Amino acid sequence: MSMTQQAEPAVTTPPVSGPGKEKDGRTQQRSLVLRLLARPEVGVFLGALAILVFFLIMAPTLRQGSSMSTVLYQSSTIGIMVLPVALLMIGGEFDLSSGVAPVASALTASMTAFELTLNVWVGVIAALVVSLAIGFFNGWLLVKTGLPSFLVTLGTFMGLQGVNLAVTKLVTGNVATDDISDMDGFDQAKALFASSFDVGGVNVKITVLWWLAFAALATWVLLRTKYGNWIFAVGGNKDSARAVGVPVNFTKISLFVLVGFGAWFVGMHNLFQYNTVQSGEGVGNELIYIAAAVVGGCLLTGGYGTIIGPVFGAFMFGLVQLGIVYATWNPDWFKTFLGVMLVGATLVNLWVRKQATRR
């Protein structure tokens, strides 16, 4: 006897078996849809698709292959940094210094190579060491002091912002570094970090490939390795994770180091794309990275999220940023769009979270 029959009085006529089976089938179909919608990346995918269709209608220029390539390029420069930021957020922390860290990395590489008259690869390696050291410092200070990551990385953000400007002025006498395009090793480094290639007559930046490759690697690590389990565990409850043998301190420090690696890569792209670096850039980008991860389904409280979601989140941000331009609207509305997207995505994620926990 079914649960529905048990809940009805004994005098009630039993329901006919045919309609009952149809009702069960409809219930099962609805459950499948809910299970699909409970995936955090599904909501942001549908949102990105809706925004894409909207701008394809409102901005006919976006329908050209070159325009879409530009959108993908813009999304990749955001997305490469969003990936480690998302992993860090799943691990229960976030990094406010992620916006200015790429600038610090690019400044290090440029000034090291130019001022010492060295091959640019020496500067690239020096920048990698500095970027990883910044990430390590953030993670080490967090686990040693127990301070919230907000305070730790806010201090690093302010410190780097000042150092970027002050050291650049001290060394170069200007707020920007010198052009390094004629130095040894520049062409090879540009080929790795900032080259482009043609696909059907459309110029595509190599950062798009790097973005997708890093996303695939991060997805595999998060879902198929022990380290990925550690990330979810420390983000959900670090005390419980430590009790079952998860190396909490190592996991958190390594996640900050990964953010440092992302900052290095983005910084090298910016350097070899534009040949010079403005020391005051990057302020505010940290909010875009965090917002893209939140739009992609990562919770600020940690322990929940994917990599595919933030990939679509970064695409949405790049699409809106350039879609407004292609639609010939006032670009001052960009931040308003971002605010609406963030609040809307947060509400959607809240609903998705409730659906995922329903029995």
Per-run averaged pLDDT (10 residues), the chain, 359 residues? 40 44 46 64 80 89 91 95 97 94 96 94 97 97 94 95 94 92 94 93 94 96 95 93 94 97 97 93 90 87 90 92 86 77 70 61
Q: What is the pLDDT of residue 234?
A: 96
**162: exposed, middle or buried (C-beta count within 10 Å: 0-12, 13-18, 19+)?**
exposed
Residue 216: its pLDDT value, please?
A: 97
pLDDT of residue 200: 84
- What is d(CA 125, CA 109) in angstroms, rounded to the nearest whole number? 8
Q: What is the pLDDT of residue 154?
A: 95
Tokens matching residue 259: 């953010």
In our burial notation (b when 16+ CB lie closer than 10 A, e otherwise), range 172-196 reads beeebbbebeebebbeebbeebbeb
